Amino acid sequence: MTAAYRSAHFNAGCLLIMATTLCAVFLLIASSHAYDGNLSFASYYGDHMVLKMAPEKAVLWGYGPEGEQVTVFLSGPVKQKTSPVTVTKGIWRVTLDPVEAGGPYIVTAAVHNMTATLTDVLFGDVWLCGGQSNMLFEVYKLLNASEELAQAEKYPHVRTFMVALNRSNDELTELIQVELPWSVPTAENLPGFSAVCWLFGRYMYKHLKYPIGMVESCWGGTPVEAWSSSRALQRCELESTGANHYENNSVMWNSMIHPLLNMTLKGAIWYQGEANVEYHQDKYNCSFPAMIDDWRMAFHLGSGGQTAIDFPFGFVQLSTDQKSSADDGYPNVRWHQTADTGFVPNPRMKRTFMAVALDLPDEISPYGTIHPRDKEDVAYRLTLGARAVAYNEPHVPFLGPFPSKITSSQMYVNITYDQMVSATPSKYIFEICCSEILAPRGPKSQWVPAPIMRSNSTTVMLSASFCPSTTEVAALRYAWRDWPCDFKACPIYSANRVLPAPPFIAHRTTTEGHFWRR
């Protein structure tokens, strides 16, 4: 799969939104497949696929002659035979008994005069990868792409599947098109697959030692509204938005997520938000958590309760775009990605995990600075969160340092972190807002630098000397820029310098100089 092919397919997908007739043709094709009377599996099933392992149950469904009785047989390390189910409105569906990790298996659906068969099927964990262009960013664009592709065949138990780029104004039962059917990774079929999705799966396989299935469904330049159902949009008063981007609402949810709802998932990872810097930025603190909640409910119901109602959801906090930008769009969206808390999991976003990426800029990326090529660190940071949140592995550090206490005086601001830190000098990354009165401050307020004066294992002292003598520190923020530092050179990291501190903004609430986070 070449870059030119992906670009051409993107352009074709864009035409769908404008060409109602063409879209109707695609829908007709999907509908005719469902009712042509042949016995088959739905389009996202295939040879080499991964089905969810025990303790959850895998769901299988497809099409068949109306009224016929379909039985599914599983042969391999263990054998299963399901009870017959009746084809209703052209569709059959069964739920297997739990199957332990491993394989390979042969899965056969049968009626009295025909069969449909899947071969080389493995049981393990299945993860869905969503978002926009930084999730779409392909393996062949990595800095070490040749090395990554050369070792692809060493990971035959990491299987990949890619949904094609298509939109719909209505919720679809079936995918309009599959771009990459389930595949055993090779140097030939992996180049066009999502780098973050692949690397996450490969890293998790090396740790878990059982099959991993990675499902890519993402589209560059898309806002969160495109991936959200009308239910989720209503929660944030976004269902009817007039002209400006209204055509994007739910169009990828309808065609690229809704058809997958019967799939039993372990969890999802997400890399998106750049499009919302320009579109409904101030609503992202609602729209993103609402989308997560809605996906969880929908996959839980669609799989008959097999996908957890609170399945783990990991995401990448926005990296960087413009080095010299003074715009607050990226910092605001980073903050909103955490529901204005600064870290996850939090009470609004339970069972989530986040990879901070603001310290991974790429000034010379040939794909634009908005597309950094270092996806290895992104995927590794996601795996730490997955191990802790999704797999309940104890003692896995996955959160960077975050303030547990902030106090200020006329001359200094003292920050106590929730863990041991590694701090290096910086004159500009911390900023304070000076005021004669205590009042909430925001990104449009006047901020001045607060240089780091000294630090120890858990605290950092900042200078407040840039505040005029008639004022006091009213607010504090950290890394509140599009491009706050050079590559892995932010001033605050975990003690081992693996995890960067996420950005935050906090406001002073008492005359004694105590702060709370916004």
Determine the pLDDT at residue 11. 37
**pLDDT grade for 305, boundaries at 50, 70 and 90:** very high
Structure-token pair, residue 224? 């969160």
Query: In percent, how much of the chain has pLDDT > 90?
Result: 84
Determine the pLDDT at residue 15. 32
Query: In percent, how much of the chain has pLDDT > 70?
Result: 88
Task: Give Rg (Cα) of the chain.
Answer: 25
Sign of the CA dihedral running 238, 239, 240, 245: positive
Determine the pLDDT at residue 37. 77
Mean of the pLDDT values across residues 233-249?
71
Contacts for 178-183 with beta carbons within 8 Å, 24 or more apart? 178/43, 178/44, 179/1, 179/9, 180/1, 180/216, 181/46, 181/47, 181/48, 182/45, 182/46, 182/47, 182/48, 182/49, 182/50, 182/213, 183/48, 183/159
Query: What residues form DSSP beta bridges with 355?
Result: 316
The amino acid sitting at 232 is A
Q: Give me the torsion for CA of 33, 37, 42, 48, rounded to 10°.
A: -110
CA dist 430 and 435 (Å) reads: 17
Nearest CA to 421 out of 481, 488, 499 is that of: 499
List pLDDT tens digits, range 6-47.
333 333 333 333 333 233 333 333 333 445 679 999 999 999
Res. 355: pLDDT tops 70: yes
Determine the pLDDT at residue 247. 62
Q: Which of 51-55, 240-244, 352-356 has the lowest mean pLDDT?
A: 240-244
Determine the pLDDT at residue 227. 98
Res. 250: pLDDT tops 70: yes
Determine the pLDDT at residue 512. 62
> Of 211 and 435, which is predicted with more confidence?
211
Mean of the pLDDT values across residues 104-111?
98
Q: Residue 247: which residues within 8 A CB-CB, separation 6 or more? A: 17
Summary mean pLDDT of the chain: 90
**pLDDT grade for 1, boundaries at 50, 70 and 90:** very low
**pLDDT grade for 435, boundaries at 50, 70 and 90:** confident
**Angle of helix 195-208 relative to helix 376-385, nearest 10 degrees?**
50
Integer distance in angstroms from the first to the last C-alpha of the chain?
46
Nearest CA to 107 out of 81, 126, 69, 141 is that of: 81
- Answer for the pair 59, 45: CB distance below 8 angstroms, yes or no: no
List pLDDT tens digits, range 165-222.
999 999 999 999 999 999 999 999 999 999 999 999 999 999 999 999 999 999 999 9
> Of 317 and 248, which is predicted with more confidence?
317
Res. 444: pLDDT tops 50: yes
**pLDDT grade for 478, boundaries at 50, 70 and 90:** very high
Sign of the CA dihedral running 152, 154, 158, 160: positive
